[in-house]
Amino acid sequence: MSDQDELKQHFAQRVIHQARELLEVWQQLQRSEWSDRYHTALTDATLRLRRFAERFEQTEHSELALGIEDCLGDIQDNRGRLSSDTIATLSQLIYRLARTGLRHNDPQTQPFIPPLSKPVYIALQDQQRAEHLVRQLDFFSMSAQAFSTDSAFQAAMHQRHPAAIVMEVDFNGPGEGLQLAERIQQGLDEKLPMLFFSHAETDTPTRLAAVRAGGLEFFTGTLDASSLLEKIEIFTRTAYYEPIRVLIVDDSRAQATHTERVLNNAGIITRTLTEPIQAIGALAEFQPDLIILDMYMPDCQGTELAKVIRQHERYVSVPIIYLSAEDDLDKQLDAMGEGGDDFLTKPIKPSHLIATVRTRAARARSLKARIVRDSLTGLYNHTHSLQLLEDARFRARRDNRPLSFAMLDIDHFKQVNDTYGHPMGDRVIKSLALFLKQRLRKTDHIGRYGGEEFAVVLPDTPADAACKVLNDIRQRFAEIRYPAQPQDLSCTFSCGITELSPDSDTDVKTLTQQADEALYRAKHGGRNRVERF
């Protein structure tokens, strides 16, 4: 890399870290309510981002910052209140800010937002293994530092606190790692995420001491980068949060408007219907996480509408909350027996309504994720991947935009299982899943198609761009090493890509066949390559 490229990358990182500050403010809103304090904090963070972006010529960040400033101006004009349209627009801008934009000739080596703004500190007895782990984490765009002595570690701690610490229990001597961790955590307002490691299995008192020292995870035996990264991301990441979507059905415009304002103020997107008969059409278009129904409406009772909604398989698990002035407990219980999940009595405190909606929606999302996701990787399962491809195909044709679809297959995977065992095979599969999630956009849908095969839906992406991105991922994935005997293991994958051109009416079945045919050519052309249909 030239000096000029290094300088550009340094400037880009400065902008990226400023973007992370803005993201952290946005994420705080998802646990609280909108106020002048949030408006000020978001305004200040956005202004700093725009200034940094303009100074260091980061055009995309500058444009996003201007868009966020426009939204904040709209909120100010609306007497400091959030509206559903503003939340949705803000969410899209934050969403673009939070994820990588590796399209349209963006530098392939520059992540849009790094996984962490601080490094991970690694303290292991085996310095060579620690350095190896640092290099492996770098493949996943995670910064890490290894330390060989207690004094070097503590000196680094005095200079800067890390995002997380990986500590061997016997670092610097038997049990010394645990004692060092305890000393580090003393006096901190918030404990640092601590992940402990031991070569041998440990007893309960040792694990209890690890928990008391802030240990969130305990690894034994081997320590590989993909497993470590997976846990670190869970404990430390600032993830993009998709706002909750609530459909309100109430014949009273005044009551519906009040409910809307309360929920919008908490960063929740709403849509209101005063005509219950329109509910099913709105469900299909709006795809809410939760439904709020008035109990008594002239043309349709809330319980009747709940029964109609539950007749549609797609909406069986969407929570329904009745919001009514009805205070007869028996009638409330009867209503919940008619397809409802909760009953709230008017008037209701805003904080009570917000908490109930957030809790119910979060549980529903978690349940849905279990239904549509693969248990090993957390990626979408085969059936849902095809549904997402169909949805993306529909939008691509409607908006006259390109769409690419890719199928990936890990090379010689049977040999990995036969030689190293199925646990190692699972580790490789999880590693590739994590790698894809990190290096593709949030708008790209990644699925485990079956076994060692993956499917990727890339909306708004021509095949040339898809090939470039996936080829870069292929090259980087091949550099990962997995600890094994008699020598460390590395794996590769082959990939086939097809494109739905804007004016094409190709169906999902044909797209999958085309991608599969391109994958077959990649396999028979020598493997570890990307082929386009």
**What's 72's domain CATH number?**
1.20.120
pLDDT, position 116 = 53
How much is the pLDDT for 6? 59
Give the pLDDT confidence score for residue 100 in this predicted structure: 38
pLDDT number for residue 11: 62
Least confident of 68-82, 227-241, 375-389, 399-413: 227-241
Q: Give yes or no: residues 429 and 404 share one domain.
A: yes
Domain end among 204, 236, 268: 236
Residues 471 and 514 in one domain: yes
Name the least confident of 119-123, 147-151, 311-315, 348-352: 311-315
Return the bridge partners of 342, or none: 321
Strand order in the sheet with 245-249: 269-273, 245-249, 290-294, 320-324, 342-345
* Residue 208 shares a structural domain with residue 317: no
CA angle 57, 60, 64 (to 5 degrees): 120
In a domain, 69, yes or no: yes
Question: Residue 69 phi/psi, 5° resolution?
Answer: -60, -40
257 & 222 share domain? no
Average pLDDT over residues 376-381: 85
Mean per-residue pLDDT for 250-265?
89
Range among 239-248, 296-305, 407-416 with highest mean pLDDT value: 407-416
Q: What 8-state DSSP symbol labels residue 380?
A: B
Query: Are 250 and 232 in a shared domain?
Result: no
Domain presence at residue 107: no
- Residues 519 and 407 reside in one and the same domain: yes
| Closest listed residue to residue 130, CA positions, set 228, 206, 201 | 228
Residue 189 domain flag: yes
Per-residue buried b or exposed e for 94-125, using 16+ beta carbons within 10 Å of the residue's own CB:
bbbbbbbbbbeeeeeebbbbbbbbebbbbbbb
- For residue 265, what are the domain limits? 245-371
Question: What local confidence, expressed as pLDDT, does residue 113 receive?
Answer: 40
Q: Would 376 be classed as within a structural domain?
A: no
395 is a domain residue:
yes
- Amino acid residing at 102: L
DSSP alpha helix (H) spans, 337-421? 350-372, 382-399, 413-420
Sign of the C-alpha dihedral computed for residues 519, 521, 524 and 527 taken in this order: negative
Q: Mind listing the pLDDT tens digit for each residue in 103-162? A: 333 333 333 344 456 789 999 988 888 888 888 787 776 788 999 888 899 899 888 888
- What is the token pair recorded at 134? 């640092």
pLDDT at 138: 77
* 134 and 178 assigned to the same domain: yes
Q: What is the pTM of this model?
A: 0.60
Q: Are residues 137 and 263 in the same domain?
A: no
- Please say if the pLDDT value at position 102 is more than 60: no
**Looking at the structure, do residues 265 and 363 belong to the same domain, yes or no?**
yes
- E strand or H helix that includes residue 26: helix 3-29
Query: Pick from 253, 331, 340: which is nearest to 293 by CA?
Result: 340
7-11, 405-409, 476-480: which is most confident:
405-409
Selection from 324, 323, 325, 291 nearest residue 308 by Cα:
291
> CATH code at 315?
3.40.50.2300
Torsion angle of the four alpha carbons 216, 222, 224, 230, in this order, in degrees rounded to the nearest 10: -30
Q: Residue 411's domain is classified under what CATH number?
A: 3.30.70.270
The pLDDT-based confidence of 195 (bands split at 50, 70, 90) is very high
Instruction: Tally the domains of the chain.
Output: 4
Q: Can you tell me whether residue 406 is helix, strand or coil?
A: strand
The pLDDT score that the predictor gives to residue 49 is 87
Same domain, 366 and 252: yes
Q: Are residues 63 and 88 in the same domain?
A: yes
pLDDT digits (tens, 9 = 90+) for 358-370: 999 988 887 877 7
φ, ψ (nearest 5 deg) of residue 95 = -60, -40
The answer to whether residue 89 is domain-embedded is yes
Domain check: are 37 and 70 in the same one?
yes
> In the predicted model, what is the mean pLDDT of the chain?
83
pLDDT at residue 184 in the model: 87
